[in-house]
Amino acid sequence: MHLDDSKWVWAFIQWQAHHGALAAPLIAVGVLLIWHLIRRARRVEGGYREILRSQKRSQIRQAGKVVARSCVVASLVFSLVYLRATPTVADTSMETYHRVHYERLVNPSHTWDEIKAATDQIKSDESLMTELRAEIAERNRQIAEQERRLEE
C-alpha cells in the first residue's frame, strides 16, 4: 500500500497531526451533556432552573453515568479502529522511508541530478528567467527601502 493511493490514510495522518484524537472526544462529551440536559429539562416541569435548584448531586451523578457509559463504548470502538489502522500507517511511512534511503544508497547523486535538471530547464526558458529576474529586482528594491526606513 502506498501513501499516494489512499486518501483516508492522508486524512488519518492529518487527524493525528492536528490532535483530532484529543479534540473529538471533548466535543462529543459536550454534545452528549447538552443533549442529556435538554432531554432532562423537557421532562421536568420548570425546565433548567428546576433541575439546578433541586437534586444537584443526583443530576450530576446521572449526567456522569451517561457520559461514562457512552465514553466506554466509544473508546472501545475507537481503540479497535486505531489498532487496525496504525500498522497500515506505520508500514506506509516505513516503506516510504526505506525506499527513499535505498535510492540514496544506490544512486547518491540522483537527487542532485534531479535538481540540476530542474535548474537547467528553468534557465533554458528565457521568458521565465526574465520574469524571475524582475521579481528578484523588485524584492531587492523592497528590502533596500525597508532598510532605509529602519535607518531613519
Q: Is the pLDDT higher at 138 or at 91?
A: 138
For the record, the C-alpha cell of 3 comes out as: 501513501
**Half-sphere exposure in the Cβ direction for 58 (13 Å, CA):** 5
67 and 134 both lie in a single domain: no
Mean pLDDT for 45-61 is 66
Mean pLDDT for 81-85 is 78
Q: What is the DSSP letter of 88?
A: H
* Inter-residue contact 94 to 3 (CB < 8 Å): no
- What pLDDT sits at residue 101? 81
Q: Which residues are CB-neighbours of 52 under 8 A, at least 6 positions away?
A: 59
Q: Is 152 helix (H, G, I), strand (E, B) or coil?
A: coil
- What pLDDT sits at residue 1? 42
* Inter-residue contact 32 to 66 (CB < 8 Å): yes
Domain that holds residue 131: 108-152
The residue assigned the cell 501513501 is 3
- What pLDDT sits at residue 35? 81
144 and 88 both lie in a single domain: no
46 and 62 both lie in a single domain: yes
- What pLDDT sits at residue 49? 62
Domain boundary among 87, 106, 125: 106
Rounded to whole angstroms, how far apart are CA atoms 117 and 120? 5
- What pLDDT sits at residue 131? 92
Checking if the pLDDT of 100 tops 50, the result is yes
For the record, the C-alpha cell of 101 comes out as: 534511503
94 and 117 both lie in a single domain: no
For the record, the C-alpha cell of 59 comes out as: 443530576
76 and 151 both lie in a single domain: no
Side chain identity at residue 62, one-letter code:
Q
Highest mean pLDDT (candidates 24-33, 101-110, 116-125): 116-125
